[in-house]
A and B are shown apart, each in its own frame.
Chain A
Amino acid sequence: MKKTFLKHEHFQQLLDALKEAGFACIGPQVRDGAIIYDTLTTSTQLPWGLRDFQEPGSYRLEKTAEYKAFSWANGPQALKPYLFKAEETLWRVKRDEAGKFIFEAEYAKAPAIAFIGARACDLAALAIQDKVFIEAKQIDIRYQQRRESLLIIAVNCTYASKNCFCVSAGTGPKVNHAYDLVLTEVDQGFVVQSGSERGAAILAKLTLTPASLLQIQQGALEIQQAANMQSKKIPFNNTRALGLALMNKLDHPRWLDVAERCLSCGNCTLVCPTCFCHSERDKPSLEATSSEHVREWDSCFTKGHSYITGKVIRPDTQSRYRQWLTHKVATWFEQFDVSGCVGCGRCITWCPVGIDLTEELSAMVEDFHET
């Protein structure tokens, strides 16, 4: 597909075209000191000239000299809350006048979303969530409805935070999953490319010029710089070999060591873009004439997660942390034929005590060699 150039000052045209095509625009903006995704109506809401500085257990935004909209890595969430809702009613039940139960399924209500600013790691994670919710035997109808109408405007990363390790995870920083449009930000604007008919139809409505060779080269260089900035690595480049090595270390003393630091608060799992665990509960009305069956995000760090017929299978932090990490990078392969880690670094940044999974993994598999 040919590459075109969209000037910064024409970004609003993109939002308008998406709106006209019937999409609700969701895009990055600043709230409470972080970059979050919410309804985007004007291009002025974008985090112009801001950059995130992330370290284990720490996140702050600072102004940069450049006036760019996407010169940051990521925030606490991206696509996950828009497809796999944090809390959602699955079905409702009520009694009719004869006292008989009437069940009613719940469907997705939100309008079609154009998600602006999905990064390479976010799209790698989306591919995994698709496996969980729509490529499995049981299809999640609400996820499927939202997914099918989702329009993806991806952005190649031109900056990596200190906690990013997508290069070694094999997911970025260049987008390598399906998108409708992909942008690479350079001086004065974006090199734009469409990846679908829907994307091309949107592009047709914008004031574009052909991208110059210089702009295309600058874009490629900036993406390469984002790759070069990364210092963290996941052992064995996130392959099955890592899983194999880790499953041979189930009795490693490091599990106890990390359990002494881990708060078992669940933050890592809830910011992880691939974690899909949830619990379900019923919300009967006080008079018990109706009830709703609700699903909400859960975590392998809760007691309820491993409660099975009268027994909590993983009562302590050591067993819970081990469950999370071994599932994420080892048994995930057996389940989904891919690692559950996409290298976004969110679990490192948003852990209140800054536990770094790349360090924990390295400590446990450092002496393991493939045979």
Chain B
Amino acid sequence: MLQDYPKPTLAVYKFTSCDGCQLAFLNAGVALLELTNLITIIHFAEAGFVAPTQAVDIAFVEGSISTLDEITRIQQIRAQSNYLITIGACATAGGIQALRNFAGSNNWLKDIYATSDTIDSLKTSYPISHYVKVDTELWGCPVNTAQVMVAIRSLLFNAAPQVKRDSVCMDCKRRGRVCILVSQQQSCMGPVTQTGCGSLCPGLNRACYGCYGPSENPNTQSLGAAFKKLGLSDVDVARQFHHINNQAPAFHQAGNRFKTIPIWVA
């Protein structure tokens, strides 16, 4: 821990993102007050703390790297941080904006903006780990308060946070939810998606869309084949994987595979 402060220090940095993951802190309620008894917040612009270049013990990073300036900034943050945790799909897997990695971003710019001269962005959106070493990844779109608080508590005990990567199905079964894939034939991503959300969508009778990223040992090929039996086309199956976590290797490869499978496959 840094010596200048009596308590460990914490910062939350934002890159290309919607800011939603930062709400895991801001919506924490009483836990946020307890947290400020345990740590000193150095930088967290959305909460009013601004010291972007100050050294820090625990750095939470939200957002993906999608501009040149962001590459420099994440390297600076890595250099000034003891322990770096990415929060959310953008920081951990490049986010929904990484769909541009599959397309010509220059064409998109021309279509959307009157002139692209004022736009300074990379052709790609990549996760933080593409540029610097990440100590712990917290998945989710967005992450929730429990995830960040458990990670902080663990670090305060001087232990690396343990992130379970079992399937969402495990959570559905523990909560007594009826499987919507089996009983309603919904194309639910739960069997290949990492736990952590509390099986939120299946609990509301809606198929999981994989926002917590791939589970530890995902069989995307078999689940994709099952989706096809439910009537999805190869393109539909590819889109299931090329969604919020499209750059997570397991989903990236699965999407590419189904994209290129000819339609006539039985």
Q: Does A77 contact B (CB under 8 A)?
A: yes
For the residues of A in contact with B, the DSSP-based class is loop
Decide if A286 touches B176 in the complex (CB within 8 Å). Answer: no
The residue among A33, A75, A286 with the most chain B CB atoms within 10 A of its own CB is: A286
Binds A, one of B46-54, B86-94, B183-191: B183-191
A265 to B173, CA, bound (A): 11
Partner of A299, one of B170, B177, B178: B170
Q: Per-position contact with B for A294-320: 1 when CB-CB < 8 Å, else 0?
A: 001111011110000000000111001
Among the 9-residue stretches A13-21, A53-61, A90-98, A139-147, the one with 4 or more Cβ atoms under 8 Å from chain B is A53-61
Residue on B with the closest CB to A55? Answer: B182
Of B9-17, B99-107, B219-227, which binds chain A?
B219-227
A-contact 0/1 string along B147-187, CB 8 Å cutoff: 00100110011000000111101100111111111111100
Segment touching B, from A99-107, A212-220, A346-354: A346-354
Check: B120 CB closer than 8 A to any chain A CB: no
Segment 258-285 of A: residues with Cβ below 8 Å from B:
260-267, 270-271, 284
Of all chain B residues, which has the CB nearest A291?
Answer: B153
Complex: A214 Cα to B62 Cα, angstroms: 72
- Whether the Cβ atoms of A317 and B219 lie closer than 8 Å is yes
Q: CA separation between A252 and B219, bound complex, in Å?
A: 21
Contact B37 A270 (CB under 8 A): no
Is A304 a contact of B183 with CB atoms below 8 Å? no
Closest A-chain residue to B217, C-beta based? A264
B197 at interface (Cβ–Cβ under 8 A)?
no
Asked if B38 and A287 make an inter-chain contact with CB atoms under 8 angstroms apart, the answer reads yes
Q: Is the CB of B179 within 8 A of A350?
A: yes
Chain A: minimal CB distance from B137 (Å): 16
Q: Is the CB of A76 within 8 A of B179?
A: yes
Beta-carbon nearest neighbor of A296 in chain B = B174
- Contact in complex: B173, A86 (CB < 8 Å): yes
**Interface residue from B169, B181, B183, B205 paired with A34 (Cβ < 8 Å):** B183
**Contact between chains at A265 and B205 (CB < 8 Å):** no
Q: Is the CB of B153 within 8 A of A262?
A: no
Residue of A nearest to B220 (CB): A263
Q: Counting CB contacts under 8 A, is A32 at the interface?
A: yes
Cβ contact of B173, chosen from A261, A297, A316, cutoff 8 A: A297
CB-nearest residue of chain B to A297: B174
Q: Is A36 an interface residue (CB 8 A)?
A: yes
Does A87 lie within 8 Å of B217, measured CB to CB?
A: no
Contact assessment for B176 and A267 in the assembled complex, using a CB-CB cutoff below 8 Å: no
A31 / chain B contacts, CB cutoff of 8 Å: 178
B217 touches A304 (CB 8 A): no
B219 touching A264, Cβ below 8 Å = yes
From 188 to 231 in chain A, residues with beta carbon under 8 angstroms from any chain B beta carbon are none
- B173: A residues at CB distance < 8 A: 76, 86, 266-267, 270-271, 297
Instruction: Contact check, B175 vs A86: say whether CB atoms are below 8 A apart.
Output: yes
- Which chain B residues lie closer than 8 Å to A301 at the CB level? 217
Measured CA separation A263–B180 after assembly (Å): 16
Provided the pairs A265-B190, A352-B191 are in contact, do residues A57 and B205 lie with their beta carbons within 8 angstroms?
no
A111 within 8 A of B: no
Structural contact, B182 and A350, CB atoms closer than 8 A? yes
For residue B35, CB closer than 8 A to chain A, the reply is yes
Chain B contact patch, size range? 35 or more
Residues of A within 8 A of B225 (CB): 353
- Considering only CB atoms and an 8 Å cut-off, how many residues of chain A contact the other chain? 45
Render B203-231 as a binary contact track against A, CB cut-off 8 A, 1 for contact.
00100000000011111011101100000
- A288 interface contact, C-beta 8 A: yes
Q: Would B170 and A288 count as touching, CB distance under 8 A? A: no
Asked if B31 CB lies within 8 Å of chain A CBs, one says yes
Contact between B169 and A265, CB atoms less than 8 A apart: yes
Interface contact B174-A317, CB-CB below 8 Å:
no
B153, A284: Cβ atoms under 8 Å? yes
B226–A353 contact, CB under 8 A?
Answer: yes
Q: Are A262 and B222 in contact (CB under 8 A)?
A: yes
Cβ of A22 under 8 Å from chain B: no
In the complex, which residues of chain B have a beta carbon less than 8 angstroms from the beta carbon of A260? Answer: 219, 221-222
CB distance from B224 to the nearest CB of A (A): 10
Residues of A within 8 A of B117 (CB): none
Interface-centre pick from B165, B167, B223 (highest chain A CB count, 10 A):
B167
Contact B179 A353 (CB under 8 A): no
Across the interface, which residues of A come within 8 angstroms of B164, CB to CB?
Answer: 304
With both chains docked as a complex, state the minimum distance between the C-beta of A219 and any C-beta of chain B, in angstroms: 30
Task: Give A353 to B37 CA distance when docked, in angstroms.
Answer: 49
Q: How far is the CA of A286 from the CA of B32 in the complex (A)?
A: 10
**Per-position binary interface string of chain B over residues 22-35, scored 1 when its CB falls under 8 Å from any chain A CB and 0 otherwise:** 00000000010011
Complex: how many Å from CA A32 to CA B190? 17
Q: How far is the CA of A271 from the CA of B164 in the complex (A)?
A: 21
Contact with B along A60-75 (1 / 0, CB 8 A): 1000000000000001
A residues in contact with B215, CB < 8 Å: 264-265
Among A57, A265, A302, A315, residue most surrounded by chain B Cβ atoms (within 10 Å):
A265
B-side contacts of A286, CB under 8 Å:
31, 34-35, 38, 149, 152-153
Chain A 34-64 per-residue mask, 1 if CB under 8 angstroms from chain B, else 0: 1010000000000000000000011110000
- Whole-angstrom distance between the Cβ of A149 and the nearest chain B Cβ: 21
10 cross-chain pairs, A with B, having the tightest CB-CB distances, nearest first: A270-B173, A265-B191, A86-B174, A32-B178, A265-B167, A263-B191, A265-B169, A34-B178, A33-B183, A264-B217
Binding site for A on B (CB under 8 A): 31, 34-35, 37-38, 149, 152-153, 156-157, 164-167, 169-170, 173-185, 188, 190-192, 205, 215-219, 221-223, 225-226
Having A299-B166, A303-B166, one finds 16 other A-B pairs with CB under 8 Å, namely A59-B182, A261-B219, A262-B222, A264-B215, A264-B217, A265-B190, A266-B173, A267-B173, A286-B34, A286-B35, A287-B37, A297-B173, A302-B216, A320-B217, A352-B169, A352-B179
